[in-house]
């Protein structure tokens, strides 16, 4: 901080901040100092003197309270992280008033004068987007600027322009969003207006959920409307084929289980078949090795009359 840097009294700081935060009071600024969130210099007579860095830090604190509903202890931790080197780039840029080119995510505020060079959009295009209400300017300690959300909108609009879209074509989204926001507001307004902090916090969560649901619902309907131009995902076809194969396989296996004998029955049938085959083999071998019953009786009769017949056939 140079010695020639201008310092501001607390009343002057209040007037500067009122452009962005109309409800800011001197007692609020003193309270934030008492909580250790800011540390202005003091003169020998005890008067507070705020630097530009102090004013930017106050803007940062008040913005976190207003836009992210963060409690002071969380904001204080963020500031401590910034001072200790545990820096989140977006927070550091907001606090220091500097930053690199914002992307589609992690956008930071950009002054109106620097927007053309930072966002690579012509001044005429930016003014046209302002004219159609696509984005809006805010008044801050450093002059007019685009909020982080407006910076994101400008970056997305820039992507649309690559396809031949013009700023006037984007007006329809403002109409769509107006209807959606009115619809969601009717659902959530009673809870948001509740005085109980817990009810209000719960309502904010419900609001976030409703916004997400609206986005998902819109995407599904838009894809359905343009489905004839979109290829069918191959993964769905494969999944259906696998499901059919599984069903067919299960049906065949069940049929086989019902119609086919179990392993024990199969073994019994095989054993019986072997016994039958052995009997057939024995029957085929009997005629070749044993005389028929007729011949056997004839032989025994000859043996019984062996002496007599022999004497008759061969007389002495």
Domain residue ranges in the chain: 1-99, 232-256, 261-292
Does the pTM surpass 0.75? The reply is no
Confidence category of residue 109, pLDDT binned at 50, 70, 90: confident
pLDDT at 173: 94
Query: Distance between CA atoms of 42 and 199, rounded to whole angstroms?
Result: 41
Confidence category of residue 257, pLDDT binned at 50, 70, 90: low
Confidence category of residue 221, pLDDT binned at 50, 70, 90: very high
Confidence category of residue 96, pLDDT binned at 50, 70, 90: very low
- Segments in the chain forming alpha helices (H): 10-18, 26-34, 52-68, 72-84, 89-96, 115-119, 123-131, 148-161, 171-192, 197-225, 234-259, 263-289, 293-304, 306-313
pLDDT at 287: 52
- Is residue 55's pLDDT more than 80? yes
Confidence category of residue 70, pLDDT binned at 50, 70, 90: confident
Kindly state the average pLDDT of the residues 298-311.
44
Give every strand in the sheet of 110-111, ordered side by side: 110-111, 143-146, 138-140
**Lowest mean per-residue pLDDT among 103-117, 128-142, 229-243:** 229-243
pLDDT at 250: 59
The DSSP code for 8 is B
For domain 1-99, give the fold. Multidrug-efflux Transporter Regulator; Chain: A; Domain 2 (1.10.1660)
The DSSP code for 35 is T
Residue 142 burial (C-beta neighbours within 10 Å; 0-12, 13-18, 19+)? middle
Query: Distance between CA atoms of 244 and 249, rounded to whole angstroms?
Result: 9
Q: What percent of the chain has pLDDT over 90?
A: 32
All residues at 6 or more sequence positions from 151 whose CB lies less than 8 Å from its CB, including other chains: 102, 107, 108, 109, 110, 119
DSSP secondary structure of 241-271: HHHHHHHHHHHHHHHHHHHSPPHHHHHHHHH
**Lowest mean per-residue pLDDT among 124-133, 134-143, 244-253:** 244-253
Kindly state the average pLDDT of the residues 43-68.
87
Confidence category of residue 230, pLDDT binned at 50, 70, 90: confident
């Amino acid at each position: 901080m140079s010695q020639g840097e201008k310092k501001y009294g607390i009343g002057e700081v209040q007037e500067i901040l009122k452009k962005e935060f109309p409800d800011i009071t001197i007692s609020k600024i003193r309270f934030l100092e008492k909580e250790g969130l800011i540390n202005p210099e003091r003169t020998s007579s005890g008067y507070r003197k705020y630097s530009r860095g102090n004013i930017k830090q106050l803007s940062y604190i008040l913005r976190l309270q207003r836009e992210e509903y963060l409690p002071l202890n969380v904001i204080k931790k963020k500031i401590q992280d910034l001072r200790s080197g545990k820096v989140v780039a977006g927070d550091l840029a907001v606090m220091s008033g500097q930053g690199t080119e914002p992307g589609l995510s992690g956008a930071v505020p950009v002054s109106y004068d620097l927007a053309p060079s930072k966002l690579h959009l012509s001044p005429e295009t930016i003014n046209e987007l302002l004219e159609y209400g696509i984005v809006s300017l805010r008044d801050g300690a450093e002059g007019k600027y685009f909020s982080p959300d407006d910076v994101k909108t400008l970056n997305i609009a820039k992507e649309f322009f690559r396809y031949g879209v013009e700023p006037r074509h984007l007006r329809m989204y403002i109409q769509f969003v107006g209807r959606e926001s009115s619809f969601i507001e009717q659902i959530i307004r009673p809870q948001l207006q509740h005085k109980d902090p817990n009810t209000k916090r719960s309502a904010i969560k419900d609001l976030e959920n409703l916004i997400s649901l609206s986005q998902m619902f819109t995407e599904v309907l838009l894809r359905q409307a343009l489905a004839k131009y979109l290829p069918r995902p191959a993964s769905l076809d494969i999944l259906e084929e696998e499901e059919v194969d599984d069903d067919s396989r299960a049906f065949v296996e069940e049929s086989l289980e019902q119609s086919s004998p179990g392993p024990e029955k199969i073994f019994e049938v095989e054993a019986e078949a072997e016994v039958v085959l052995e009997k057939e083999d024995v029957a085929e071998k009997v005629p070749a090795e044993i005389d028929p019953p007729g011949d056997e009786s004839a032989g025994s009769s000859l043996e019984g009359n062996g002496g007599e017949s022999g004497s008759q056939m061969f007389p002495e």
